[in-house]
Amino acid sequence: MRAKRSKKYRKLMHQYELTFGFREPYQVLVDSNFLHAVHSFKMDLIPALERTLQGKVKPLLTKCSLEAMMTSQPLNPRTNNPIRPEHLPPPTILPLRHCSHNEDSTPIDETACLLSLLSPSTDVKRNKEHYILATADPPGAEKAANSSANTNSSAGKKRKRGVDEGEVALQQSRSLRRAARAIPGVPIIYVKRSVMVLEPMSMPSEDIRDDVEKGKFRVGLNDEALKKKRDATGDANKKKKPLKKAKGPNPLSVKKPKKRVAEKAGPTKQEKLSKQPPNDGGDEGQERPEGGDSAAPKPKRRRRHNKGAKKDGDDGDHAPSTGAEGAASADMN
């Protein structure tokens, strides 16, 4: 199961890389609910994120998220400062993301802060900084769910108030995720029952991905055009080689004239051969081919005979037929 899921997440992050330009280390904006859930399920923040995203991560906590965590903390009676929450990792593990939303740069609502970082421009929703959102249902919602699961009707006002608070917190966290899904190219991690989950691509993200895929197809066509050009240049390079090969047949064409010359000047050669008895006498093998050569023309002339016999009526005007007969007669002799 785990291997299957990790493969799925790796594939998903690869799509985010191809479509939206995500790169490792992935910048992960973690919110207060996420940190609470990670702590309550005794997860190790960075290893858990890296297992989920299948790559190196750089978690970040916005100033407004930190403020949200601190305001809910009881004050230290000595320093009168809020006690550092247990679920807040040290800055070495979780550095602060300095955000400024107003002139005083006073912290704003955590959800509004995160959404403004995920999509700085309200006109065009775009995750310019390639942030990943890591969130979770609020702990209040868990308690509410547990209490409702227990179905204690005798809980009274206290339980009711808890449910209301939990519901409000739950609605806020749900609205954060819903708004984050509306921004194309925002991977969303959330903790669900002690399991860190990477959400499938939202519809706006999928739409962009499909457009990019189409664009890739066009790019692919361009690539093919480039390949054709490369092939053309390759052909040009190859053409040089065939030219060299074309020079090869020339010797053959040179040989043919020799044969023709031999046929035409057969008698002279024979005369030459007759004039060169030592060579002939030295190589008996050469005499046999010569005999073969002399035998080879004979069938040709016989064919001419046949043709002439068949086409006597047609080739009646042809004087060569008589010449061929004469040649045949010469051969016969």
Is residue 64 within 8 Å of residue 82, measured between CB atoms?
A: no
By CB under 5 A, name the one of 113, 163, 169, 186 that touches Zn ion: 113
Measured from the CB atom, the residue of 72 and 233 that comes closer to Zn ion is 72
Measured from the CB atom, the residue of 106 and 150 that comes closer to Zn ion is 106
- Residues 6+ away with beta carbon under 8 Å from 203: 181
End-to-end CA distance of the chain: give it in Å, rounded.
98
Contacts with Zn ion: how many residues (CB under 5 A)?
A: 4
CB of 204 to Zn ion, least distance (A): 23
62 binds Zn ion (CB under 5 A): yes
User: Which of positions 85-104 make contact with Zn ion (CB under 5 A)?
Assistant: 99
111 binds Zn ion (CB under 5 A): no
Instruction: Give me 208's structure tokens.
Output: 């962009």
Percentage helix, strand, coil for the chain under 3-state DSSP, each rounded to 5: 65, 10, 25
CB of 112 to Zn ion, least distance (A): 8
29 binds Zn ion (CB under 5 A): no
Tokens 């016999």 -> residue: 309
Measured from the CB atom, the residue of 70 and 273 that comes closer to Zn ion is 70
d(CA 64, CA 82) in angstroms, rounded, equals 15
Stretch that binds Zn ion, among 61-69, 120-128, 137-145, 230-238 (CB under 5 A): 61-69
- Cross-strand bridge partners of residue 61: 96
CB of 95 to Zn ion, least distance (A): 14
d(CA 94, CA 149) in angstroms, rounded, equals 35
Stretch that binds Zn ion, among 107-115, 217-225, 266-274, 287-295 (CB under 5 A): 107-115
Measured from the CB atom, the residue of 113 and 186 that comes closer to Zn ion is 113
CA–CA distances in Å: residue 99 to residues 62, 277, 327:
6, 110, 110
d(CA 78, CA 90) in angstroms, rounded, equals 21
CB of 118 to Zn ion, least distance (A): 11
Measured from the CB atom, the residue of 115 and 324 that comes closer to Zn ion is 115
Instruction: Give me 269's structure tokens.
Output: 């050669």
CB of 132 to Zn ion, least distance (A): 17
118 binds Zn ion (CB under 5 A): no
48 binds Zn ion (CB under 5 A): no
Stretch that binds Zn ion, among 113-121, 178-186, 240-248, 258-266 (CB under 5 A): 113-121
User: What would the 3-class secondary structure string for 222-243 be?
Assistant: HHHHHHHHHHHHHHHHHHHHHH
Contacting positions for Zn ion (CB under 5 A): 62, 64, 99, 113
